[in-house]
Amino acid sequence: MNREILEKPFMPEQIKRRQGTDGDVFDYVEGCAVIQRLNECFEAEWIFDIQDHRIYDDEVVVLGKLTAQGVAKSQFGKSRITRAKRDNSIISLGDDLKAAATDCLKKCATLFGVGLHLYFGGTPAGNGNSHANGNGNGNGNGHGNGNGHAIVPASSRTMVSA
């Protein structure tokens, strides 16, 4: 297992930003960047399995396992259920589950060391310090807080475990 590749900081253009509901600005890395990193390190020989999923009133939660070179890491991922403004009906539960699965994959990859620099006060977007807020949720439709991206505030030195 090549920890140097796994833990290599993401390039600034791979780090995206969004504004949170409380006004904080968050840095995050998209799922495709994490998949690319896993492919680079493990030469595409890794497996991600959804072990279980649950659907609640306002969110979906998945339990997944990432296995590479005989080492397995499990974690949860979640996503808010996206609802229509008109009648509060569910827009696409499949997209919400997909967002939760992406969130889960990224959290599992973090346990291998991927993206850890975002959790330790780095300046990935060149604007100050970052820490993980631990929610990592997405809304599944590509709007708001994204498709299950790992969300990292860009405005504090406090570290929160993933």
| pLDDT tens digits, 64-88 | 999 999 999 999 999 999 999 999 9
Q: Is 16 helix (H, G, I), strand (E, B) or coil?
A: strand
pTM: 0.74
Residue range 1-7: mean pLDDT, rounded: 92
Angle in degrees, CA 20, 26, 30, rounded to 5: 110
> Could you give the domains of the chain?
16-153 (3.30.390.80)
Q: Is 113 helix (H, G, I), strand (E, B) or coil?
A: coil
Burial 23-32 (b: 16+ CB within 10 A, else e): eebbbbbbbe
Q: Which is more confident, 3 or 145?
A: 3
| pLDDT tens digits, 89-133 | 999 999 999 999 999 999 999 999 999 888 775 544 444 333 333
Residue range 22-45: mean pLDDT, rounded: 92
Angle in degrees, CA 82, 99, 35, rounded to 5: 160
End-to-end CA distance of the chain: 21
User: pLDDT averaged over the chain?
Assistant: 79
Using CA atoms, how far apart are residues 38 and 99, in angstroms rounded to an integer? Answer: 18
